[in-house]
Amino acid sequence: MNAPLMIFFVLAAVAVFGAVSLILQREPIHSALSLIVVMVALAGLYLLMGAEFVAAVQIIVYGGAIMVLFVFVIMLLNAGEEERTNFSKLATYAGIPLALAVTGFIAAAIARSGGYLPAAAPNGALTSTKTLSMLLFKEFVYPFELTSFLILVAILGAIVLAQREN
Amino acid sequence: MNEFLASYAFLIVPVIKIGILVFLVLTVDAYLTWLERKVVAHIQTRWGPYRVGPHGLLQPLADGLKFIFKEDPMPAGVDKIAYFLAPFLTLMLALTSLAVIPFGPQRFTIWGYETHLGIADVNISLLVLFAITALAVYGVALAGWASNSKYSLLGGLRSSAQMISYELALTLSVVGVLLLAGDFSLRGIVEQQAQSGKGLLSWNIFPQIIGFLCFFTAAIAETNRVPFDLPEAESELVAGFHTEYASMKFAMFFIAEYTSMITVSCLCTILFFGGWLSPFPLSWTFTQFLPPVLLIAFGLWTIYDGIRYETIFGRLLLPGVGIALLALGGALLAFPVINSYIQGPFWFLAKVFVFLFVYIWMRGTLPRFRYDQLMTFGWKFLLPVSIATWF
């Protein structure tokens, strides 16, 4: 087994472990911490694919900005320990088969593609900051601007909703 | 043996470099506390540490021993995982951020492995630094939340709010430098400032002086230092987020704070003050002799001061240190190769020291902000101004 593959498995295991722990933790802040672990592990995976810029931005935006807000709100509201309720009937009868089905589909898709999955871009050739910005601001400029407009609308909405109470 | 070294050099060399850097940084951290106490004391016309060793020079050692041997009680009702995680996380992130700092221009080859002065030469090193800074909030926030104490919680909350607010200004004020350099790598940013060869005048500080002021202000807030030390405001919050920590866990927060001060000073040096570049034009070759001359002058002064010192220990130790400094300066004069080699690191460290001194100077001079002033200043003044520096 070569080194990148080994690193991949370690990071993947960390990400999956974090994701499972996110659901199982009863303390909201532990869940948030698990989610941060997932984000950082994902950044490591991006780095492994040679996408350095995306990896750094993943940590800055998701690991830093967004998760800090989560943690901040949890701390501010002093959200207590979650109460375990009995699983609802729907979760047992529909959820478990559905989860199994989704896992099956993904496994089947991977199995059918055999060893022919396309390889990641070799060492940042495709994902350097310059190439990325060229793609964003030339080829995909309309979707990019539309997305930013969407975010602007969301910000305005948040301000309007917050103002109404006063 | 040689074959083994050659094939694993990519692993061995960085590990050795990390070891050296961590050792150096921890030592500098320790003596930074000494310097801070001395400088603040002299600002307030006191003597500062004077008992442990000549001029209190062994005080950091005594402090370290005290931290190790102190009892480490754990308050009731803490969240154990977060309580233990917080100091480790804080220290780890603070030390990690130093990994991408380049300390000098040289590249050299050890056992067939090409390396440089610095741990990692990433081509997005600035973004990596910001990513680490972004994660650093958790250490403080978790420490405050996990300690199960109202002072800690208030400190943690204040600190997360403060760090989120000032991170924006910190990042935005660098954009001007990035536009000038066209490069995310710290090495590239320094090399861009070297191009015109005019020394001081080609540094980024001249087009970007407002950017620098914004950056430094925001960086002080990020490191929770005076006048932005609200998370640990001792008159209101006892000690803020680390109230409930003792012994080595408290020391870890302390070391992390001083390490991030060093990182910020390194960043200011690299981004705005030409990194390892000399402030003099390239044609002034005689400035090469500045490091040995300074060493010799300081060595002579140490000997002069040492022989008049009150205690016998001081009269023995200080002249010894002075003679060592003299010998070092003499060696640099005798071997011009070594002298030209240390030019880069010399200027780099000299500039970093100036920033560290400014940090301490400010602590001795400025009063603390009030919380609402802090937020108003950050959002309504610093943020727009740092955007204005782009033009």
In sequence order, the β-bridge partners of residue B109 are B114
Per the prediction, chain B carries an average pLDDT of: 82
pLDDT bracket for residue A132 (50, 70, 90)? confident
pLDDT bracket for residue A152 (50, 70, 90)? very high
Question: Is the alpha carbon torsion for B372, B378, B379, B382 positive or negative?
Answer: positive
- DSSP annotation of A64: I
Specify the pLDDT at position A101.
Answer: 92
Decide if A29 and B138 are in contact by the 8 Å CB cutoff.
no
- CATH of A3-127 given 3.40.50.2300, 3.30.1450.10, 1.20.120.1200, 1.10.645.10: 1.20.120.1200
Residue among B128, B185, B186 with most chain A CBs within 10 A, to mutate: B128
User: What residues of B are in contact with residue A64 (Cβ under 8 Å)?
Assistant: 131, 133-135, 137, 167
**Residues in B lying within 8 Å of A, measured between beta carbons:** 79, 81-82, 85, 122-124, 127-128, 130-131, 133-135, 137-138, 141-142, 144-145, 153, 156-157, 160-161, 163-164, 167, 184
Q: Which of A30, A52, A60 sits opposite B134 (nearest CB)?
A: A60
Decide if A29 and B145 are in contact by the 8 Å CB cutoff.
yes
* HEC letters along A83-119: CCCCCCHHHHHHHHHHHHHHHHHHHHHHHHHCCCCCC
Instruction: Provide the CB-side half-sphere exposure for B70 (13 A, CA).
Output: 16
Concatenating the DSSP letter of every residue in B222-279 gives HTT-TTS-GGG-HHHHTTGGGTT--HHHHHHHHHHHHHHHHHHHHHHHHHHS-TT--S
What is the pTM (predicted TM-score) of this model? Answer: 0.83
Length of chain B, please?
391
Task: Show me where the domains of chain B are located.
Answer: 2-283+335-388
Decide if B167 and A29 are in contact by the 8 Å CB cutoff.
no
Specify the pLDDT at position B234.
Answer: 65
B238 Ramachandran zone, left/alpha/beta (phi>0; psi -120 to 50): left
Decide if A68 and B161 are in contact by the 8 Å CB cutoff.
no
pLDDT bracket for residue A13 (50, 70, 90)? very high
Residue among B138, B172, B189 with most chain A CBs within 10 A, to mutate: B138
pLDDT bracket for residue A118 (50, 70, 90)? low
- The CA distance from B100 to A25, in Å, is 35
Q: pLDDT at residue B55 above 70?
A: yes
Count the Cβ atoms, other than its own, within 10 Å of residue A84: 7
pLDDT bracket for residue A57 (50, 70, 90)? confident
What integer is the mean pLDDT of A80-106?
Answer: 79
Sequence-ordered alpha helix ranges (H) in chain B: 2-43, 59-69, 80-96, 125-146, 150-172, 175-181, 186-194, 209-222, 234-237, 247-272, 290-307, 312-334, 336-365, 371-376, 383-388
Per the prediction, chain A carries an average pLDDT of: 80
pLDDT bracket for residue B224 (50, 70, 90)? confident
Query: Which chain B residue has the Cα nearest residue A39?
Result: B135
| Cis, bond preceding B207 (omega within 30 deg of 0) | no
pLDDT bracket for residue A31 (50, 70, 90)? confident
Looking at per-residue pLDDT, the higher value among B358 and B50 belongs to B358
What integer is the mean pLDDT of B61-79?
Answer: 82
Residue B110 sits at φ, ψ, to 5 deg, of -115, 125
Here the tokens at position B292 are 């040995």
Specify the pLDDT at position A85.
Answer: 67
Residue among B83, B124, B170 with most chain A CBs within 10 A, to mutate: B124
Looking at per-residue pLDDT, the higher value among B157 and A78 belongs to B157
**pLDDT tens-place string over residues B107-165:** 777 776 777 777 777 778 888 888 888 888 888 888 887 777 778 878 778 887 888 78
pLDDT bracket for residue A153 (50, 70, 90)? very high
